Amino acid sequence: MSLWRYRDRLPVEPLVTLNEGDTPLIPAPRLSERTGAEVWLKFEGANPTGSFKDRGMTVAVSAAVREGAQAVICASTGNTAASAAAYAARAGLRGAVIVPEGNIATGKLAQALMHDARVVALRGNFDEALRLVRELVERHPISLVNSVNEFRIDGQKTAAFEVCDGLGEAPDALFIPVGNAGNITSWHRGFEEYEDAIPRLLGFQAEGAAPLVHGRAVARPETVASAIRIGNPARGEEAMEAIASSRGSIRAVSDQEILAAYRLLAAKEGVFCEPASAASVAGLLKYGAEGRVVCVLTGHGLKDPTAALDQARSVIPCEPSLAAVEEVVMG
Ligand code: F0G
């Protein structure tokens, strides 16, 4: 099974696919107990490259192949780069990715490099990278696969279809991290196409990178959640309209709140996501919820081993004797 079971609602044929989508919708008993709501986790880290980006990339790269493109390019905080590189490799296209130097998680960098993309470390941030690639594709016949590409939005809307099919109806609310604001736009489109009942869309940005919360671009965004370190979201206006029409909201969570949710998910629910993904659960814990709610966990925890080792307990060194092992295990 893959998201291509919704192919009649997608604008292209699956020319390039890694069987993405159909990710687990996991009940969260501890979070439910804590909040009083019925909480579910949509674990998008289970996609082929470990993030929701694959949903959009299979559609965008299929469209690029149909159109005869020779190469694909994107600006990225890391996940789009990993996904674009994988699908370009699969399609036999050249892939180029522009990432902010020093601000991309190790796993994502390893993926982009292993998939043989040309990886460019820009001495600038994501917003500058996106502005440059948008100019570049004006001059060259390269397909831009950032979420400004409509095919990306169409692919990513299938996550909403899966949630509605999984629960039998739309949930009361959707908690979701927001960076460039493509994904919340996609979920909105998905719910709209699926049925009339659109859940309240509750988007969360990191405090130091919260342009939509403040209503203006942030020149130097900062957050531990590198995936959403974005100061000028490309789909900001559309996302704000989607949020308003769902009677939802966009709010900020601090890095501390993000990291607390990140640890709690792994230690208490057994679900390991990356820090940016935990912004949805940080929002749930901070602002509360009622009814049946879904938190979107956008990327896998293995993407960012550095953040994990920073947050977790230390390993316990031990001599190779039974007594020593007994002491550290049972003590
Ligand atoms: N969560 C993760 C793990 C992400 O990688 C991103 C975006 C988001 C949430 C936010 O989604 O941008 O659609 O609002 N990552 C992009 C990238 C920017 O380049 O990988 P959004």
In ligand 1, which atom is closest to the CA atom of 182? Answer: 13
State in Å: Cα 109 to ligand 1 middle: 15
State in Å: Cα 178 to ligand 1 middle: 7
Residue numbers of the chain with a pLDDT score lower than 70: 196
Please report how the helices 53-66 and 79-91 are oriented relative to each other, as an axis angle in degrees rounded to 10: 40
Other beta carbons within 10 angstroms of residue 20's beta carbon come to: 29
In ligand 1, which atom is closest to the CA atom of 82? Answer: 20
Asked if CATH classification 3.30.70.330 holds for the domain at 3-51+151-310, the reply, yes or no, is: no
**How many Å is the maximal CA-CA distance in the chain?**
69
Q: Are strands 200-206 and 173-177 parallel, antiparallel or unpaired?
A: parallel
Protein residues whose CB sits closer than 6 Å to any atom of ligand 1: 51, 53, 76-80, 147, 177-183, 227-228, 274, 276-277, 298-299
In ligand 1, which atom is closest to the CA atom of 180? Answer: 12
Q: Which fold has domain 53-148?
A: Rossmann fold (3.40.50)
State in Å: Cα 227 to ligand 1 middle: 5
CA-CA distances (angstroms) from residue 41 to 7, 35, 176? 24, 14, 11
State in Å: Cα 330 to ligand 1 middle: 41
The residue nearest atom 10 of ligand 1, judged by CA position, is 179
pLDDT for 40-93, tens place per residue? 999 999 999 999 999 999 999 999 999 999 999 999 999 999 999 999 999 999
User: Best substitution site from 180, 201, 213, 258 to test ligand 1's pocket, by max atoms within 8 Å of Cβ?
Assistant: 180
The residue nearest atom 12 of ligand 1, judged by CA position, is 180
CA-CA distances (angstroms) from residue 183 to 31, 155, 176, 233? 23, 10, 8, 11
**pLDDT of 197:** 81
**pLDDT of 331:** 86
Fold match flag (3-51+151-310 vs 53-148): yes
State in Å: Cα 317 to ligand 1 middle: 37
State in Å: Cα 229 to ligand 1 middle: 9
For 9, counting Cβ atoms within 10 Å of its Cβ (0-12 exposed, 13-18 middle, 19+ buried), the class is middle
pTM for the model stands at 0.98
User: Best substitution site from 41, 73, 77, 111 to test ligand 1's pocket, by max atoms within 8 Å of Cβ?
Assistant: 77
- Amino acid (1-letter code) at residue 36: G
Domain boundaries along the sequence of the chain: 3-51+151-310, 53-148
The residue nearest atom 6 of ligand 1, judged by CA position, is 227
- Rounded-to-integer distance, Cα 156 and Cα 160, Å: 8
R_g over Cα of the chain:
20
pLDDT for 273-307, tens place per residue? 999 999 999 999 999 999 999 999 999 999 999 99
State in Å: Cα 182 to ligand 1 middle: 8
The residue nearest atom 15 of ligand 1, judged by CA position, is 227
